[in-house]
Structure 1
């Protein structure tokens, strides 16, 4: 830092400390004001925030979701514990639940399908025409004859048997969809779960899945998440109290973290943002950064007092002056890595990016400025707050770090780091984009939701849906035999994928109508040979266009081919999309084209594609931002390259662990990964700057490294130890995602601290980068003089 910049910083620091009363008063008033706004923020998931609005799959989904189904479909399975479903008590439950679902907030009543729905039709022939009558509407069969008739209808209808009644006849399925602009998970979840639980009995088991239910469970666990968050803070407070043995070392870092949270949440409320429950882990991660910066300042303040600085104001001034640059560099690097996520074209990512960047920037005020200002009032205590002293253990750990960095062991450290980087980098390529496991990765596999999903997938075609729409060039295109044959071929082709349990299209219906019209002769189970014949079959089957709405639009121009999936893992979705594209490319038609893709799996495919491109882009830009920040701060491009080492190491290890543990790169993990890049280098900034400061006083590199590790390294050790231990509490979360992110945070913090305490000092000792040691020629860690004898002595 040149003298001009140093003098400006010194004047700023002195002004903050000198005017500490008005500065503290203004900060307190603003914090109270932001706290008022923060208290009004809503904790909820907004469905539209999850969608990449301009993606072609999403455009198709939004265009056709009203008629062909959205991505918020809920599937409810009623299973008879003994016997089959064909008895009055069971069927009465199906009817009651079907009717009551129409009263749920935001429900699309035209998309409620079950055995008891008026839209579930049985196709029969009469002397004059084809009759389509409800299978079991409005009444449940009351005698054995009616029950047998219903059973025969189910067994003879491929649109019901296997789709809405299980093949073993022990379960019935109800599906319900919602108007997506009216979806409110906080309302839908309790209403549906109340209805489902009311159907549970000694003879009936109920399973419920769907996005509104999944995110309803997430919201259900918000109070638990908040409790874990508070318990983590209490644990953190206890650990800080244990290590620092002072109230200032305990309360001031926590105050910095809490005040930055208040400012950030208040800003989010002013911007009109809500707080998604899944991003609470990011909130803790940023809060941890604020605490980390404050711990460094408190540690340096204590060192200054112990070194004989006469007053608290002088010690606070000195600590702030020495640590302001690395602290601000860390804040800017974190903010830069977070803001690049805004380029991901998903509203939730953009909101997280903006509020995360604001949150990180508040650390500059709440920790880097206010912590030393408050420290200026603190006096050196006459005795410690408790008798437990672990400073000896900390000194021994730091002694190992010092001896490693200043001896031949440094080469082993760098060789080991290189080996770990290469091996973890190779394994990290196995990281999945999208969900890596069947069921929802947000919840544990033994959660009720994932058990219900497994049960439904076991007995039915699949709870997750994707539809590909044949968009005709003109009205009536769907009547053409070539189009119907193409849809059938697509269904057969996609059916070879094991994860697809079944499919449905209008091409499945017309052959049944044709067969019934021919007195049930199976020879006629096919389409008509001309569009006119197919038009007659359409009319005979559904004279009321509303009954056929889920199969085609009234103009017979657009029709979906719906596929039922056993899971929506990233590989499953990518394979399905690729296979559809292969079929479309190999079977072109002049009558129209297939457009991808609607339903939950279609939306998931769009999100995964955006994340895949966004992951590479965000990480690359975050690394570029880091290089630029370091290059500008230290006026050396080599500095940017130097600091990439701890970042790349911590990220390749973390990504390889994600691949090993089956944690996919999803909407929830992408911003954590981007922020992790900044997290991987913050500790290194403090150690490097401490070494630089020491070399301003003398020419002994080994001594500079040793002193830097005893001061800045001590802060790194305390912070990483307390934070890493505290996040273990997240493992108790009912949300698997929260637990896994706590696990990843612990890895990031641990690897970052190891890099700062072992790898970075070893790199400086071996490579002696000019931005750290200047232009002096170093031999064996000691500055060489113009005389050869001193160089020889240094070598000796």
Structure 2
């Protein structure tokens, strides 16, 4: 085993000596190379654009989504779509002014690129018709009569046609004060073939529809996935503002900590360079930034600052011992190379484990975060020491570090109580109690959305206000769940199929959360009753196939496919909360298990709620798989580096406690595990492991020298521990301001990241030495030795 470990670590040890000599003896070449690469990648980063796709947000390998994609061409309008509600502030919609406005809005939406024009629905489109039974049989036509001229007579005719069309509660509000235009979307631009630009589409909806037609008498409400994404991208400006505020706070606190202009600007500048490199490389690789990965650059900045502070702190200590700037930077590089590289590799490999979640938006986030960590190795672990070797830390910072070494802080000495048996036992006992409490509260953690509307936005946001308007004024909500009933060709309209679908719809009426449903069976029943003088006794699926055929002479689009092998059942839900979706999917599965046969099969699911249900299932399974991979990878790297199971426990246990407490916090705050929140747990582990690795690595150098644990821990607190405390507090202060963001998911991330920054810091400073004491951890054999005395100025290539 020892030989295997040495074999695995040999390349890292070999790279350390080579990298050190190359960097510090070719500093001008290194700086020139980094400058040119930074300029090129900055040019690339300036061209990166928001990138969002409906397909990226759903798990395409899930059976529900596979069923939808298989029948996608026959399910027009049941995938990605938006709804535009045009409302009057006074009166009703049966006025010439309103009808003219509705017609113009319908026409404007028809010509927006990316709209599936054939499936667009409005009372002004020819695919929305009315039917009526007369003594001569069925008569019907478009809702808007051909002779419409805005006169009171034709407006009254529209009122009658609307009542006969069955669209009240669907395309026309129950109170007749608004009407909806249903706008299905393609995933790609029909002319260019590029992915549909949701930012541009959202701007068009605002400028061409809302701003143009909203007035004192008309109001516009817009909902749908594309609008949510558009509003999130629009909020990117606020994200940039909060990012700038966090940078400013870090700048001020870093100067107060280091008392050095170069020790402040250089690590901050290198951290910004890391973000520039990350964005530039993403652009080169063909990626953009979707709304859920816009926070990743800040996380990269945070990790970079964390490592930069460690390097600057070590340089200040070496300078205080008499080394010049070149020697101090080189010693700092040698001291932090292996722990820093181990921490960053743990971060990167931990982030890349998010790829196990088969949702493209999370996989893209994993790549973006891992790429960002990779460039930190170059910008902060390599470039930063080289720049500091040229500019130096400054006399003021050197004198301050010298005074700190001579006068130990009483606060740090008090913390050494946790490295003694009584204090350690107290710390571990409290940790166990927190663990029990976290596990108990974490049982309430739910998968999926726990609020109505778009939980990514605040409840008083424009989008959620629009969504509430549609929910309150229409019988059919915007939360649509579609069950695809498949049969053999030409068999979707036979009595057996329609009768079973009718029974299925009646079965759904007893499922909590289901508002209503519509299918081909409803068309057949309504027309059959109409053929029999409108008698309700005939409002059923006829056993006579000839009667069924006659009832289906005209079928609205979307209720069957051309080969009559698919009839979707469109289910309207109260909301898309996780509990609602669980009840509906469980009910459909139960019915399918009891009634599926070779002739007819009930398959889930299309519609926005169907996709949400599939996403919840994937996340519910993947979250534990992801955590297993994250901790497995981080644990393996720590084990290879320190070669001690006890050390592994000391580093991993505080991280695990933080993860459990974070889940308990999410449950307490009503934050569900979903696409936007799942990655934060892995990202928190990646950031927290840095603290543990740096603390234990430094403490081990003193243990190797023969110091007892208490003294080794005290010396660690005075050096590395001080940097960890500063970094944790600084980053927490930077992200806690996110709670004021208009984007709710950013505010939620701010709370969760603040919690994880602080608890990871406390775990590394308190729980780690306590575990080391109770586990009786001694110096790790074969570990990195202190090198301050073995590196001299005349050490040349």
Q: Please give the alpha-carbon distance, in whole angstroms, between the structure 2 residues aligned to 1:219 and 1:385.
A: 45
* CA 1:139–1:642: 2 relative to 1, 3 Å: farther
Is the contact between residue 331 and residue 361 of structure 1 (CA under 8 Å) also seen in structure 2? Answer: yes
State TM-score, norm by structure 2: 0.91
Please give the alpha-carbon distance, in whole angstroms, between the structure 2 residues aligned to 1:244 and 1:35: 29
Identify the residue that residue 795 of structure 2 maps to in structure 1: none
Please show how residues 410-449 of structure 1 align to structure 2 within 5 Å. 410-449=424-463
Match of 1:470 in 2: 485
Shift of 1:305: 1.6
Query: 1:665/1:139 Cα in 2 relative to 1: closer, same or farther (>3 Å)?
Result: farther
Structure 1: unaligned runs, 5 residues or longer: 543-547, 776-796
What does residue range 2-41 of structure 1 map to in structure 2 within 5 Å? 9-10=16-17, 12-41=19-48
Q: Does 2:628 match 1:620?
A: yes
Alignment equivalent of 1:363, drawn from 360, 371, 376:
376
Q: Deviations over 1:347-405 (max 9, x none)?
A: 22222222321211211121112222222123353446999xx9899945434323443
Partner Cα distance (1:469, 1:311) in 2: 74
Confirm or deny: 8 A CA contact 2:316 2:397 kept in the other structure. no
Measured against aligned partners, the alpha-carbon deviations of 1:292-334 in whole angstroms (never above 9, x if no partner) come to 001011011111222x233112211222222222111110111
Confirm or deny that 1:337 pairs with 2:350. Answer: yes
TM-score normalised by the chain length of structure 1: 0.91
Give the Cα–Cα distance (whole angstroms) in 2 for the partners of residues 52 and 269 of structure 1. 24
Check whether the contact 1:631–1:638 (CA below 8 A) recurs between aligned residues.
Answer: no
Q: Any idea what the Cα deviations from partners look like across 1:132-171, whole Å, max 9, x if unmatched? A: 31122456574444444443443455x3122222223333
Contact 2:421 2:774 in 1 (8 A): no
8 Å CA contact 2:738, 2:746 repeated in 1 = yes
Alpha carbons of 1:487 and 1:395: their partners in 2 closer, same or farther (altered >3 Å)?
Answer: farther
In structure 2, distance between residues paired with 1:630 and 1:269: 33
Whether 1:347 and 2:360 are equivalent positions in the alignment is yes
Q: CA deviation at 1:709?
A: 0.8
Give me the whole-angstrom Cα distance separating, in 1, the residues matched to 2:543 and 2:408. Answer: 85
What per-residue deviation string (whole Å, max 9, x for no partner) do you get for residues 246-295 of structure 1?
11221122122112112222221221111113212122112211110010
Q: Is 2:678 the partner of 1:665?
A: no
- C-alpha deviations, 1:679-714, integer Å up to 9, x for none? 222101111111110122233221111001110101
Instruction: Name which of structure 1's ranges 688-697 and 196-205 shifts more when overlaid on structure 2.
Output: 196-205
Q: Secondary structure at the match of 1:376?
A: helix
Specify which of 158, 174, 186 is matched with residue 181 of structure 2. Answer: 174
Instruction: Please give the residue correspondences for 1:270-349 in structure 2 after superposition, counting only pairs within 5 Å.
Output: 270-306=284-320, 308-349=321-362
Q: 1:267 matched to which residue of 2?
A: 281
1:165 corresponds, among 172, 175, 185, to: 172
Offset of 1:115 from its aligned partner?
2.4
Measured in 1, the distance between the counterparts of 2:708 and 2:745 equals 48
Cα distance change of structure 1 residues 124 and 412 upon mapping to structure 2, 3 Å threshold? same
In structure 1, the partner of 2:59 is 52
For 1:8 and 1:263, how far apart are their aligned partners in 2?
23
Residues 675-684 or 124-133, more deviating: 124-133
Cα distance in structure 1, aligned partners of 2:170 and 2:409: 67
**Which structure 2 segments of 5+ residues have no match?**
190-195, 784-797
**2:500 counterpart of 1:486:** yes
**Counterpart for residue 616 of structure 2:** 608
Equivalent runs, 1:724-735 vs 2, <5 Å: 724-735=732-743
Q: Which residue of 2 aligns with 1:526?
A: 540
Does the CA-based 8 Å contact 2:145-2:154 persist in structure 1? no
Task: Give runs of aligned pairs for residues 539-554 of structure 1, distance below 5 A.
Answer: 539=553, 541-542=554-555, 548-554=556-562
CA distance in 1, matches of 2:366, 2:142: 51
Q: Matches of 1:462 and 1:395 in 2, distance apart?
A: 63
Question: Is this contact kept in 2: 1:67–1:549, CA < 8 A?
Answer: no
Name the CA shift for 1:660/1:313 in 2 (closer, same or farther; >3 Å). same
8 A contact 2:147–2:154 mirrored in 1: no
C-alpha distance in 2 between matches for 1:458 and 1:385:
67
Aligned to 2:768: 760
Is 1:88–1:140's contact at 8 Å kept on the other side of the alignment?
Answer: no
Give 3-state SS (helix, strand or coil) of 2:294's partner.
helix
Contact 1:312 1:379 survives alignment (8 Å): yes
- Given the alignment, which residue of 559, 562, 576 partners 1:568? 576
Aligned runs of 1:222-241 on 2, under 5 Å?
A: 222-241=236-255
Change (3 A) 1:11 1:774: closer
Match of 1:453, SS state, is: helix
**What SS is found at the alignment partner of 1:16?**
helix
Partners of 2:80 and 2:714 lie apart in 1 by: 59
Label 1:339 to 1:412 Cα distance change in 2 as closer, same or farther (>3 A).
same
Q: Identify the residue that residue 794 of structure 2 maps to in structure 1.
A: none
Distance in 1 (alpha carbons) for counterparts of 2:688 and 2:661 = 11
CA–CA separation in structure 2 for the residues paired with 1:321 and 1:607:
46
Corresponding residue for 2:192? none
Q: Give, in angstroms, the shift of residue 447 of structure 1.
A: 0.3
* Cα distance in structure 2, aligned partners of 1:522 and 1:403: 83
Rounded Cα–Cα distance in structure 2 between residues aligned with 1:360 and 1:758: 27
Name the CA distance, whole Å, in 1 between partners of 2:720 and 2:41: 32
Query: Are residue 217 (structure 1) and residue 231 (structure 2) matched?
Result: yes
Instruction: Tell me, yes or no, if the aligned pair for 1:634 and 1:771 is still in contact at 8 Å.
Output: no
Are the aligned partners of 1:281 and 1:742 in contact in 2 as well (CA < 8 Å)? no
Contact 1:724 1:745 in 2 (8 A): yes
Q: Residue 324 and residue 127 in structure 1: after superposition, are their counterparts in 2 closer, same or farther (change >3 A)?
A: same
- Deviation, structure 1 residue 751: 0.4
**1:416–1:523 Cα change, 3 Å:** same
Give RMSD over aligned pairs.
2.7
Question: Secondary structure at 1:122's aligned position in 2?
Answer: strand
Q: Please report how far the alpha carbon of residue 189 of structure 1 lies from its aligned counterpart in structure 2 after TM superposition.
A: 1.1
Structure 1 residues 253 and 635: alpha-carbon distance in aligned structure 2, compared to 1, 3 A threshold: same
Does residue 188 of the first structure (1) align with residue 201 of the second (2)? yes
Q: Distance in 2 between matches of 1:181 and 1:581?
A: 33
Q: C-alpha separation between the residues in 1 aligned to 2:346 and 2:364?
A: 19
Q: What's the offset of the Cα at 1:621?
A: 0.8
Q: Determine if contact 1:435/1:441 at 8 Å carries over to the other structure.
A: yes
1:695 aligns with 2:708: no
Quote the Cα distance in structure 2 between the aligned partners of 1:488 and 1:646: 56
CA distance in 2, matches of 1:394, 1:493: 74
- 1:785 aligned residue: none
Partner residue, 1:714: 722
Q: Residue 516 of structure 1 is aligned with which of 522, 530, 540? A: 530
* Matching residue of 2:688: 680
Q: 1:243, 1:391 within 8 Å by CA — same for their partners in 2? A: no
Task: Report the Cα distance in structure 2 between the residues aligned to 1:450 and 1:199, rounded to whole angstroms.
Answer: 20
Structure 1 residue 201 corresponds to structure 2 residue 208: no
Residue correspondences, number: 765
Distance 2:393 2:689 in 1: 32
**Equivalent residues of 1:432, 1:664 under 8 A apart:** yes
User: Equivalent of 2:518, from 504, 519, 523?
Assistant: 504
Question: What is the deviation of 1:428?
Answer: 1.9
